[in-house]
Structure 1
Amino acid sequence: MMRHAIELAGQGRYSNHPNPRVGCVIVHEGRIVGEGSHLKWGEAHAEVHALQAAGAAARGADCYVTLEPHSYQGRTPPCTEALIRAGVARVFCGALDPNPKVHGEGVRQLRAAGIEVHSGLLEPEVRELNLGFEQRMRSGLPRVIVKVAASLDGRVALANGVSQWITGEQARADVQRLRAQASAVLTGIDTALADDPQLNVRDPAIELRGRQPLRVVLDTGLRLPAAARMLQMAGETLVMTSAANLLPGAAAAARLEALQAAGAQCIGIGLDAQGRLDLREVWRELGRRQCNDVLVEAGPTLTGSLLHQGMVDEWIIYYAPMVLGGDARAMAVLPALQRLEEARRFELQALSRIGTDAKLVLRTSAGSATNV
């Protein structure tokens, strides 16, 4: 039953940000009498949907829920109270909620009401549903996922910058799903100027329920044109720029005004020793904005900086069966190493075929915590 609850949780993977993905199944005398998933932030949680479907059959039933029921009044009432009122006999949780407001408290409330509670059922699979949410709850930082489309020799564009399209149509459709699952899609100003990307989800088959991931541009010099296509799309665009550009009388004042008039939100970020936006401050700001997973679609410079600084939690590479040659642009600009021991290592999580291309999913071998 927990495996079915995991499947149900996937129904909210595109639409319930910033909340975790949760599925619930109510079982009475060996028969499923109710099921539900959390579909949209601010709306009923999975347990409530399942209890409504079960009705009176919930009394004395077993509840299988992927995440510990939440135990405080937020935008919705506590699910613990709903389960207690319904009279369920046992609750099986896949994992405890990493939110410190809930962690263990939901279980405590249920047990205090005489409900038998078991946790840890299929926990590794359950935790995979909400790696970004878990990381943000524990560290205040989002999970950083870098996506790259490359040739077999690791090139992402020709020397003249042409890159459309290295990968095939099915790989590009898969990227739409990656975007839909992310809280935010982030790029650098060089990519924004070269490609004029939309950074939105355009696949009509993906049920977003009214949301689009936040679009984020790292733009130290505030060079993003007010006519950029992403500013004409539904959803929000956040431009992170040098804090100096937001000071009264700054040279960029006219550009700032034009971007804001076009609908962009512009905020100031401190600079690092190289005069670039401080990436640690970028992640902290996105964590404050309740971003769980940030998908980075950027050029070699920003990708290289993230890899070099140990800020990549997951790296997804789509390899196309072609070779672009030595003059083409590499997927990441990185400093030269003197010893093999200095190499940053990743663990292969998945390898699959997407149309004519291969998809690799890698995670940092040291764990999933962003190095901030």
Structure 2
Amino acid sequence: MNKRLLSTIAIIIAFLAVAFVITSKPTQQSRTKTYVPTVGILQLVTHPALDEIHRGVVAGLKSQGYSGNKIKIDYQNAQADQSNLKTMSQKFANENADLAVGIATPAALSLAKTADGSSPVILAGITDPAGSGLVKSTKRPGNNVTGTSGDSPLQQHLSVIKRVDPQAKKLGIIYTTSDHGGEYNAKNMEKIAKKAGYDVKLYTISTTNDMQQVAETMANAVDVVYAPQDNGVASAMKTLINITNKEKIPVIPAVNTMVKDGGIATISVSQYNIGYQAGVMAGRVLKGKDTANYPVKTITNGDMTVNLKQAKLLGIKLPTSMVTEAENKGEVFK
């Protein structure tokens, strides 16, 4: 076989390889109006706050024209199992999903690791995305990952603690060791509360199974409990409340869904809105927006939420101003 023939064969093989790569998955430019994108949504675990984010993501995608037969959504719930996160993330990759949405930090981290820069990942309500290594910075993510961050308004939460129990001196803060966002918020609240004069004690759980024992220890040592935006704590909220109620200890949580589960009051950032904005961003990325230069949207504005039934159970009279604020622009559980 002469050199000329070998050269010709090599050129043909190279051409076919390039053609295969180009046609294996439609690009933003080559997609037609009839192309139906696949979006994978990976949620860490079932609980009301994350469920609200999921609902918001779907609505946000719909606002961008992606609903019904115009999109294929593959929703997966890992039920707090790390091995499930890995398997489900790989499932999206195997399906050549056009984009994946991660609800909660562990889900987002798993998606980002599996995608390895090859396909877009949208964050939905991730605390401290830069600190967790998901983006280079919130202003310029610099890679294939962007989305929404639901930072807790910690100073406002401390104000709620003061208004609910003005005499409290000892503050217990509980978080999950494997939840980066929970630890981040807990330690930041510790600094803020110590500066305000509180005697602060941190308590940790490794899994929701630890909550009973840790909560019993904490309830005997503090005047009030702060439960940060933490997936493990949120999932075990009812167990925490069962213990603190016995000692008449109020719990100030980070989000409204945790107030519904027995917290007494908070200023809550809308979890639905966090998801909705992530869905809008996902839709725009599907239309061609570059994630690398698409700033993370941080949502911090929140509304007052109170649980009057819980306040009565604990014998606490909430300030009229708090209740009125919740009634006018917020949420009241009775």
Shorter-chain TM band: under 0.3
The structure with the largest helix share of the pair is 2
Normalised by the length of structure 1, the TM-score is 0.26
Normalised by the length of structure 2, the TM-score is 0.28
1 or 2 for the larger relative contact order (CA 8 Å, sep ≥6)?
2
The structure with the largest strand share of the pair is 1
